[in-house]
Structure 1
Amino acid sequence: MARPTPSLTLALMQARESAMDFFRPHLNRHNITEQQWRVIRILWQSEDQTLESHRLAKLACILPPSLTGVLVRLEQNGLVERWKPATDQRRLCVTLTGKGNALFEEMKVEMISQYKKIQRALGEEKYRTLMSLLKEVQELNPDQLPSDPDT
């Protein structure tokens, strides 16, 4: 029996773990989990530092039920505020607070330094290629691709 081809999903997860080794010590020093950092960063990058919770969950790659717990802890620490728009009480919006913004500003210098280490290790061209390929993979839609004629 032929060996299966290498697993793309496993390789991506292993690469993520290697990349996170650059950032975890800094997150730990600030008592921030990886999921909390993703939420803070995504809110900081959003236009008005506010997002609807379902959109935030999708962008942060956190299942909505898990995001609830992350947001509760961030809110308890004064880093985000959750609120429902008066026009639609079914929606839940999340806003980065001044304290959350200050934490991001404090942490971003070290985070940028770690990104630069990765870029230097790979080289600028490989890093750009990697980011471009990852963007292509993110944009793939299995429902819009032709099926494999061999299956």
Structure 2
Amino acid sequence: MSKSLPSTNRSLPIALIRAREGVMAPIRDMLSETSITEQQWRVLRVLADFGRMDTKTLADRSSLLFPSLTRIAATLRDKGFVTQTRDDQDRRRQLIEITAAGQRIINDHAPQAAQIAEGFKDILGAAEYETLLDLLTRLDPGAQD
């Protein structure tokens, strides 16, 4: 005997997709005035937060599949927003680092991105906003501090 599925109004996967679209809409609006995509923004944000890193770690922290990151990193490199170098110890390992131009994209849009985040805090309240982030982290098998 199988249990019936919850209503789509109470389905976690569907609720997460709907919430993602609600969260990403203002980010997409912000990025529409730039030359970068939301995935490229994520990569630049991770690099701005953590500094130079290998492509596998960057893919994981950016929530991107490795082949997608490879393409995105090449595009960002061509735009002058990141550099790619080979690791001195392991020549197969690629290291990616944000450039001054890439950091400028982050810096130029940081106030607007912070304002967007504050809007979500206003909707949820600061405590519930933090609780939501904590709960979502618990569902992320690859979560890092």
- TM above 0.5, yes or no, is yes
More displaced stretch, 129-138 vs 73-82: 129-138
The aligned counterpart of 1:30 is 34
How far has the Cα of 1:139 moved from its partner? 4.4
Query: Aligned partners of 1:2, 1:89: CA distance in 2, in Å?
Result: 53
Q: Describe the shift of the 1:4–1:34 C-alpha distance in structure 2 as closer, same or farther (beyond 3 A).
A: same
- Greater than 3 Å deviation, 4+ residue runs: none
Query: Aligned partners of 2:101, 2:95: CA distance in 1, in Å?
Result: 17
- Note the residue ranges of structure 1 that are not aligned, 5 or more in a row: 142-151
How far has the Cα of 1:125 moved from its partner? 2.1
Matched, 1:43 2:47: yes
Q: Describe the shift of the 1:140–1:67 C-alpha distance in structure 2 as closer, same or farther (beyond 3 A).
A: closer
The aligned counterpart of 2:4 is 3
Q: Which one of the candidate residues 65, 68, 87 is aligned to 2:67?
A: 65
Number of positions where the alignment pairs a residue of Structure 1 with one of Structure 2:
139
Task: Tell me how large the CA RMSD over aligned residues is.
Answer: 1.8
- Note the residue ranges of structure 2 that are not aligned, 5 or more in a row: none
Kindly report which structure 2 residues correspond to 1:92-131, keeping only aligned pairs within 5 A, or say none: 92-131=94-133
**Aligned partner letter, 2:33:** R
For normalisation by structure 2, the TM-score amounts to 0.89
Query: Aligned partners of 1:139, 1:70: CA distance in 2, in Å?
Result: 24
Query: Aligned partners of 1:90, 1:98: CA distance in 2, in Å?
Result: 26
**Aligned partner letter, 2:82:** V
Query: Aligned partners of 1:12, 1:132: CA distance in 2, in Å?
Result: 15
